[in-house]
Amino acid sequence: MKGLFTALMVSYDEEGNINEKGLREIIRYNIDVNRVDGLYVNGSTGENFMISTEEKKEIFRITKDEVKDRVKLIAQVGSVNLKEAIELAKYATDLGYDALSAVTPFYYKFDFEEIKHYYNSIINAVNNKMIIYSIPFLTGVNMSVTQFEELFENEKIIGVKFTAGDFYLLERMRRAFPDKLIYAGFDEMLLSAAVLGVDGAIGSTFNVNGERARQIFELAQQGKIAEAREIQHVTNDLITDVLDNGLYQTLKEILKEKGVDAGYCRQPMKKLSDEKIGIAKSIARKYW
Ligand X SMILES: CC(=O)N[C@H](C=O)[C@@H](O)[C@H](O)[C@H](O)CO
Which residues are known binding-site members? 44-45, 163, 185, 187-188, 204
Per rule CB under 6 A, is residue 134 in the interface with ligand X?
no
Q: Where are the beta strands (DSSP E) in the chain?
A: 3-7, 38-41, 72-76, 99-103, 130-134, 157-162, 181-184, 200-203
Q: Which one, of 3, 78, 61, lies nearest residue 27 by Cα?
A: 61
Contact partner, 239, from ligand X, ligand CC(=O)C(=O)O, none, Cβ < 5-8 Å per class: ligand X
Instruction: Look at residue 205 and give the partner it binds from ligand CC(=O)C(=O)O, ligand X, none, a contact being a CB closer than 5 to 8 Å depending on partner kind.
Output: ligand X
Judged by CB under 6 A, does residue 241 bind ligand X?
A: no
Q: Is 133 a catalytic residue?
A: yes
- Binding segment toward ligand X, per CB under 6 A, in 52-60, 151-159, 202-210, 223-231: 202-210
Helix 206-221 to helix 247-257 angle (10° resolution) is 100
- CA distances from residue 74 to 79, 151, 197 in whole angstroms, order as listed: 15, 19, 21
Helix (H, G, I), strand (E, B) or coil at 222: coil
Partner touching 93 among ligand X, ligand CC(=O)C(=O)O, none, CB below 5 to 8 Å by kind = none
Instruction: Mark whether 161 is an active-site residue.
Output: yes
Compare residues 86 and 214 and give the one whose CB is closer to ligand X: 214
Given the residues 97, 119, 133, 183, the one annotated as active site: 133
Touching ligand X, residues 143-182 (CB under 6 A): 163
C-alpha 68/C-alpha 75 separation (Å) is: 14
The residue range among 103-111, 119-127, 199-207, 265-273 that interacts with ligand X, by the rule CB under 6 A, is: 199-207
Shortest separation between residue 252's beta carbon and ligand X, angstroms = 13
Q: Name the nearest CA neighbour of 163 among 194, 137, 191.
A: 137
245 binds ligand X (CB under 6 A): no
Please choose, from the candidates 99, 52, 120, the residue with its C-alpha nearest in 3D space to the C-alpha of residue 266: 52
What's the Cα-to-Cα distance from 133 to each of 16, 40, 154, rounded to whole Å?
26, 11, 16
- Residue among 19, 45, 48, 209 that touches ligand X (CB under 6 A): 45
Contact residues toward ligand CC(=O)C(=O)O (CB under 6 A) are: 7, 40, 43-45, 163, 185, 202-204
Report whether 213 contacts 187 (CB < 8 A).
yes
Per CB under 6 A, residues contacting ligand X are 7, 44-45, 163, 185-188, 202-205, 239, 247
Which residues are part of the catalytic machinery? 133, 161
